[in-house]
Structure 1
Amino acid sequence: MCRKGRTTVTTSAAAPSAFWLAGRPATGQDSFDVTSSWDGALVGRVSVPTDAQVEEAVAAAAGAQREFAATSAHVRAAALDHVARELAARAEEAARLITAENGKPIKWARGEVGRAVSVFRWAAEEARRFNGGEAQRLDTDPGGVGRLALTRRFPHGPVLGIAPFNFPLNLVAHKVAPAIAVGAPIILKPAPATPLSALLLGEILAGTTGLPAGAWSVLPVENDRMPALVQDPRLPVISFTGSDTVGYRIKDSVPRKHVTLELGGNAAAVVLADWSGEEDLEWAATRIATFANYQGGQSCISVQRVIAESAVYDALVEKVLAKVRGQVTGDPADDATDVGPLVNEAAAERVASWVDDAVAKGAKLLTGGERDGAGYAPTVLAELPGDAILAQAEAFGPVLSLHRVNDADEAFAAVNDSRYGLQAGVFTHDIQLAFRAHRELEVGGVIIGDAPSYRADQMPYGGVKDSGNGREGVKFAMEDYTYERVLVLTGLDL
């Protein structure tokens, strides 16, 4: 029933969707099909840029660098405001497109569109107040008499933004909006399985005014053509979201470039003994079950591990199992669906093989464990052995493991016993334990009283260890795209 989401073709009866080359629509010689992971239906046909067109886009970005950096803040802010308004006006269209190409349930797709609107709105606001400059007196020493330093931030240069399939609109927004806000040209490479949302965003961007030609391009090129873009010296900044394997391969291949990586996770939800009331456990179980399975588990901060103290473990497990079994699976276009298919059948086969590996090594399968095409049933495991693949890797599927611990010391140690460190959730009412978690957990973000899957798009977001480096969140990405440059004024009467 389900099949992979991408098949290359060279001719087509229907005209393929154009890509966006230096702000204008263009088509290449070849195209590929985007199909639904739910039923294999054709969703769209996308034109592929030729090598010459990719070169034209990069040259245009490099050529626009100085002009774009000098653009007035109000011009960039107005363009970002326009995108926010137009995307909000086309929200249902965008959500339906995400569901069709990604398999994401429509309820979650609508939420993604809303978040993308906020990203562009935040970027418009930050564009107006960013880079006001910091003045510093230098006459604190005799040699600095009459001198004043003014520090401002300027773009490194054009950005290569490489986006993943799991949030095909919002994670594209997190690349594009900060770049426009600081005046850095951007070449956006969407995931080959889900390029249509990015192309819709390009259509909206094309309606903006005041941005120089070359300020942005959306190029749906194949993954095997990505290394040439990564190596191109005219693209000094790379912002990548995806797997740790690919991310660190990129970073290692261009050590002199400014590379930011938002990679995988093995997110833990810690439930401590003081979180023991009936309402407490009901809330924790609901949030854990929901965010272990939303997006089909295809989120870097999806709950993969539950680490609970013995005092609450048994009661929590009973509630978690009930909530997981209550997740509605099926057609992602149905408003009632909680869990849709994975991005393709190969992804579901991988998840199934990892669950089978865990069970073969001694894990207990409490619920789920069945695959149907690209769909995989919400699954809960207990007593997961340390040598199981799922104990070490990112599941990126609707799979949850349960772990009993004796105290907070053991719980925090278990969170840190991972090569990943993106976010963790800690259910506790104890403010001292909350601050201790913030101090001790080796992650980029600690969420108190909720699952690790919470993210506000304006907050700093990113990880440590194999979860990457740098931070997204509009203002923080703007800082990653820029560097400080100091101006020293001499001969002043201060």
Structure 2
Amino acid sequence: MTTTHEFWLAGRRATGDGDFEVRHSFDGSLVGKVSVPTDAQVEEAVAAAAAAVPVFAATPAHVRAAALDHVSKRLTERTEEIAQLITAENGKPIKWARGEVGRAVSVFRWAAEEARRTNGETMRLDTDPGGVGRFALIRRFPRGAVLGIAPFNFPLNLVAHKVAPAIAVGAPIILKPAPATPLSALVLGEILAETDLPAGSWSVLPVANEKMPALVQDERLPVISFTGSDKVGYQIMDSVPRKHVTLELGGNAAAVVLADWSSEADLDWAATRIAMFSNYQGGQSCISVQRVIADASVYDALVEKVVAKVQAQVTGDPKDDAVDVGPLVDENAAKRVESWVEDAVAKGAKVLTGGTREGATYAPTVLAELPADAILARAEVFGPVLSLHKVDSTDEAFAAVNDSAFGLQAGVFTHDLQTAFRAQRELEVGGVIIGDAPSFRADQMPYGGVKDSGVGREGVKYAMGDFTYEKVMVLTGLDL
């Protein structure tokens, strides 16, 4: 008999009046059922979060830090269990799922550290005559309760990037996991329930997407942190212009291979990283390699190596330790990728490898001669497909990177220090990775984009900044 998973309402277990199924995208097997909160229960959670705002903000730092440390420790202890769950609900190969749990462990650990060292800053004001005897203390305080809306592609770690910084600053959070992948977030709720965080400081509500507009509009949730598509993200932002909204949206990340990256070892490294990170997570990452822009002097040799290394990516059952590339989140997603590749081929692109679908699995695919009017040339594919482009100079390469509505991250393979600094200066992206694919992310660094890739930054310290505002206290009549 299949278990129906309860959700977490203001820190306690609860069930609603209906449920939905979560199925494995590889074989269609039933992973579990999830109870859906009623409208009255959602209202109860929001009211509890609003009531908890002053209580949680006043919680001593050691209490918040201890809770975050506990979550980090328990995630470590339950790594294999949770990794298996991620693979079951998401279709992510087990080796990548284990890596995701490890990253979440670090996110909560960093949040605990930041909670302990967020001390504010001081400023003497007698630098002008009018400030004689005055001294300022600047501290940050929560803007209010947070609505965290998480995506399916990293069902634990991108949840962690919303929950951990909210707890660190003492901001109540209502987490809405993706309908396709709620189980990891519900397990996180089990762990949070073991802590001494105040009632109402967190809820995990698997609310249907069509119910979200009311939550988004609720004035008791003045901060919204959303990760997902640019279309939905900007709809949210436009609907609540007076709220503080952070958006981590899509991309079509480019890997640039310049002329000085030309040795056999250089090209092997570039091809290995490009092949791996155009296909990891089934290509379902905002910083997956989608475009490879290579100097003409290295293009032919690179193409040969990239195709061979993409062909070496192992597809199959994601529960198998040997599998590199599993299914997409569902068959409809794979069919969409298939239709975009067919569109590209019809317009003149050449398939060098891949280009086939079996159920929800789309074969790792490499395209050449992709025309500018193909959907794949402009949109985020969110699947295991990359395209190869030849350029004649660094100027042309950087212009090609910037010729996009998105600007999340870019990778630049070069040994030249001046070119590296030029890349950081000229590329219209939130992150530039030198000597590697654009898919590198350290969870403590600021992560986010420009243009249609969003606003605000993830990374624990930086998200804490988004969830808070500066408040100044001026002391008067002091003998400084």
What TM-score do the two structures reach when normalised by structure 2? 0.99
The one-letter code sitting in structure 1 at the alignment partner of 2:16 is G
Query: CA 1:15/1:293 → structure 2, altered by over 3 Å: closer, same or farther?
Result: closer
The one-letter code sitting in structure 2 at the alignment partner of 1:142 is P
- Distance (Å, rounded) in 1 between the aligned partners of 2:76 and 2:129: 57
- Distance (Å, rounded) in 2 between the aligned partners of 1:462 and 1:116: 18
- Distance (Å, rounded) in 1 between the aligned partners of 2:337 and 2:19: 30
Matched, 1:434 2:434: no
Matching residue of 1:254: 240
- Distance (Å, rounded) in 2 between the aligned partners of 1:112 and 1:134: 34
Matching residue of 1:156: 143
| Secondary structure in 1 matching 2:471 | strand
Matching residue of 2:336: 350
The one-letter code sitting in structure 1 at the alignment partner of 2:292 is V
Matching residue of 1:312: 298
Matching residue of 1:488: 474
Matching residue of 2:123: 136
Selected match of 1:467 from 450, 453, 460: 453
- Distance (Å, rounded) in 2 between the aligned partners of 1:116 and 1:365: 37
Matched, 1:392 2:378: yes
Matching residue of 1:96: 84
CA contact (8 A) 2:405 2:451 kept: yes
CA apart distance, 1:135: 1.3
Matching residue of 2:41: 53
The one-letter code sitting in structure 1 at the alignment partner of 2:209 is N
Q: What stretches of structure 2 of length at least 5 have no aligned partner?
A: none
| Secondary structure in 2 matching 1:153 | strand
CA apart distance, 1:320: 0.2
Selected match of 1:263 from 228, 244, 249: 249
- Distance (Å, rounded) in 2 between the aligned partners of 1:178 and 1:367: 42
The one-letter code sitting in structure 1 at the alignment partner of 2:227 is T
Matching residue of 1:197: 184
- Distance (Å, rounded) in 1 between the aligned partners of 2:331 and 2:460: 34
CA apart distance, 1:141: 2.1
Selected match of 1:363 from 349, 355, 358: 349
Query: Map of 1:188-227 to 2, 5 A cutoff?
Result: 188-209=175-196, 211-227=197-213
| Secondary structure in 2 matching 1:380 | strand
Matched, 1:293 2:279: yes
Give % identity: 81
CA apart distance, 1:338: 0.4
CA apart distance, 1:450: 0.3
Matched, 1:401 2:401: no
CA apart distance, 1:232: 0.2
Deviations 1:275-326 (A, max 9, x none): 0011100000000000000000000000000000001000000000000000
Deviations 1:376-414 (A, max 9, x none): 000000011110000010000000000000010000000
CA apart distance, 1:14: 4.2
| Secondary structure in 1 matching 2:423 | helix
CA contact (8 A) 2:2 2:32 kept: no
CA apart distance, 1:491: 1.2
CA apart distance, 1:142: 2.1
Selected match of 2:404 from 418, 421, 428: 418
Matching residue of 1:37: 25
Q: What stretches of structure 1 of length at least 5 have no aligned partner?
A: 1-12
- Distance (Å, rounded) in 1 between the aligned partners of 2:198 and 2:97: 32
The one-letter code sitting in structure 1 at the alignment partner of 2:225 is S
CA apart distance, 1:15: 4.5
Q: How many residues align?
A: 480
Could you list the structure 1 runs, at least 4 aligned residues long, displaced by more than 6 angstroms after superposition.
none
Matching residue of 2:163: 176
CA apart distance, 1:350: 0.3
The root-mean-square deviation of aligned C-alpha atoms, in Å, is: 0.6
- Distance (Å, rounded) in 2 between the aligned partners of 1:445 and 1:301: 10
Deviations 1:228-260 (A, max 9, x none): 110000000000000000000000000000000
The one-letter code sitting in structure 1 at the alignment partner of 2:166 is A
CA apart distance, 1:140: 2.0
What TM-score do the two structures reach when normalised by structure 1? 0.97
